[in-house]
Amino acid sequence: MIDLIDTNIIVRFLVGDKNKKLFLQSKAIIEKVESGGKKVLILDVVIMECLFVLIKFYRLPKEEVVKDLKKILALPSVVNNDKVIIIEALNIFLSKNLDFVDSLIYVKAKFNQHGILTLDKKLNRLK
């Protein structure tokens, strides 16, 4: 069975939540994913929410957050069909200073040979 993983599990694991019980629960889930004992799907909206919470609320460095999220996404037990797209969107988010949603739009359009309709100047420059 494949489970969808929620933002709070990833965030609590990455920040080492102050609530020891919740941290240990999230750690156990991530360790099961790492070991191949649990298959999960991580939606792009969960990645977006993780970015927001970790960078804006916890004030973690953008580079560190992207590196950690890409490491989790790269696990074999993370079974997203769009894993490559999400990882590339994280790369664009980091390197081009676009927000994650615009980065995802850009990468999905590129991979699927779609056009992009936008009024965003940064996104227009990438097109």
pLDDT of residue 58: 95
pLDDT of residue 19: 85
Which residue ranges in the chain fall short of pLDDT 70?
A: 127
Question: What pLDDT digit, counting tens, does each position of 79-109 carry?
Answer: 999 999 999 999 999 998 889 999 999 999 9
Structural tokens at position 14: 């990455």
Q: How far is CA 13 from CA 22, 74, 75, in A?
A: 9, 16, 15
Structural tokens at position 85: 């797209």
Phi, psi (degrees; rounded to nearest 5) at 2: -105, 130
Contact 95, 78 (CB under 8 A): no
How many angstroms separate the CA atoms of 57 and 75, rounded?
Answer: 26
Query: In this structure, which amino acid lies at residue 50?
Result: C
pLDDT of residue 124: 80
Nearest CA among 54, 122, 66, 124 for reference residue 94: 66
Paired residues of 2 in beta bridges: 39
Nearest CA among 31, 28, 30, 37 for reference residue 5: 30
pLDDT of residue 123: 84
pLDDT of residue 100: 96
Q: What is the pTM of this model?
A: 0.91
